[in-house]
């Protein structure tokens, strides 16, 4: 982050300060997410994972109920809603002060989790098959248009920095025309990109600061790590930590992760480097 930029998010009247990067812990209520250890389905497992994220220093709990891994077949909208209706009250009960984000690409799911379940952030990962996306709110028909006070994560599936910046510029203008103030940019590592394109974008990540909006990075245990190393997602923690350090030095405000404790430790060390003007 540029030293003069101090981002905040308005979470239902409370300001979240992003001058120090925060960690978003992943809680998947799915049986088929690409990283098996991230899957939780029973009430007990959801409760344990929610407490773990909070206890390890996670600021945001990102709940997903429909896998978006490459090659997956999305569950029905009804099933996604049912999973979220089960999970979010458990998270609220176990961690009352948690900031809850919901990871979805469906407009009606986005509306439901805000209006019915009190979600704090919409994490729009779309579009997926058929072009459906929670960003459809930008034409005024779903939650984001109806609730512009809810922070919104805008994900790009564009393959290059140039295309990513063009996409963000266009979509941010549309969101702002609907009254949105708190917009977070996710360059979409692993979405619509080759391994090489992922690394090219990461190498230029600081250039997204031209948008003057906080940047979320989600590289945790993804194929851009385990494919070059010839390992599995289960073995990709060390590589994930290495790329988290790079992302933080290049201005990331939020890390979306499976391994919260290790990510929080990485934030602490990189912040120490920055405070001492250490050039990496």
Query: Encoding tokens for residue 17?
Result: 């300060």
Among candidate residues 256, 261, 274, 277, the one labeled active-site is: 256
DSSP-assigned letters across all residues of 126-186: ---GGG--GGGGGGT-SHHHH-TTS-EEEEP--SSHHHHHHHHHHHHHHHHHTT---EEEE
DSSP 52: H
**For residue 206, which of 253, 239, 172, 240 has the smallest C-alpha distance?**
253
Active site residue 256: yes
Burial of 194 (0-12, 13-18, 19+ CB in 10 A): exposed
- Cα–Cα distance, 184 to 8 (Å, whole number): 10
**For residue 144, which of 100, 116, 114, 118 has the smallest C-alpha distance?**
114
Active site residue 93: no
Q: Which long-range contacts link 143-149 to residues 24+ away (Cβ below 8 Å)?
A: 143/107, 143/110, 143/111, 143/112, 143/113, 143/114, 143/115, 144/110, 144/175, 144/178, 144/180, 145/178, 146/111, 147/114, 147/115, 148/175, 148/178, 148/179, 148/180, 148/181, 149/10, 149/181, 149/182
Length of the chain: 280
Among candidate residues 111, 221, 222, 250, the one labeled active-site is: 222
Q: What is the CB neighbour count within 10 angstroms for residue 7?
A: 18
Helix or strand (DSSP H, E) at 9: strand 8-11
> Catalytic residue positions?
222, 256
């Amino acid at each position: 982050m540029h030293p003069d930029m101090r981002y905040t998010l308005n979470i239902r009247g409370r300001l979240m300060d992003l001058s120090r990067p925060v960690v978003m812990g992943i809680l998947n209520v799915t049986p088929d997410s690409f990283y098996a250890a991230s899957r939780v389905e029973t009430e007990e497992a959801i409760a344990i994972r929610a407490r773990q994220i909070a206890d390890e220093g996670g600021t945001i709990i990102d709940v997903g109920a429909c896998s978006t891994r490459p090659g997956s077949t999305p569950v029905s909208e009804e099933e996604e809603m049912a999973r979220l209706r089960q999970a979010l009250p458990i998270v609220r009960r176990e961690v009352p002060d948690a900031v809850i984000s919901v990871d979805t690409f469906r407009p009606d799911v986005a509306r439901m989790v805000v209006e019915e379940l009190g979600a704090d952030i919409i994490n729009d990962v779309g579009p997926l098959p058929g072009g459906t996306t929670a960003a459809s709110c930008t034409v005024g028909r779903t939650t984001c248009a109806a609730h512009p006070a809810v922070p919104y994560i805008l994900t790009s599936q564009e393959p290059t920095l140039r295309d990513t910046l063009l996409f963000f510029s266009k979509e941010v203008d549309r969101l702002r025309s609907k009254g949105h103030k708190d917009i977070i940019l996710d360059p979409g590592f692993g979405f619509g990109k080759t391994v090489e394109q992922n690394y090219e974008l990461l190498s230029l990540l600081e250039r997204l600061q031209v948008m003057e909006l906080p940047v979320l990075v989600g590289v945790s245990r993804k194929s851009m790590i385990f494919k070059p190393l010839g390992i599995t997602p289960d073995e990709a923690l060390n590589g994930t930590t290495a790329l988290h350090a790079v992302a933080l030095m290049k201005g990331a405000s939020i890390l979306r992760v499976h391994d919260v404790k290790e990510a929080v430790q990485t934030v602490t060390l990189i912040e120490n480097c920055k405070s001492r003007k250490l050039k990496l």
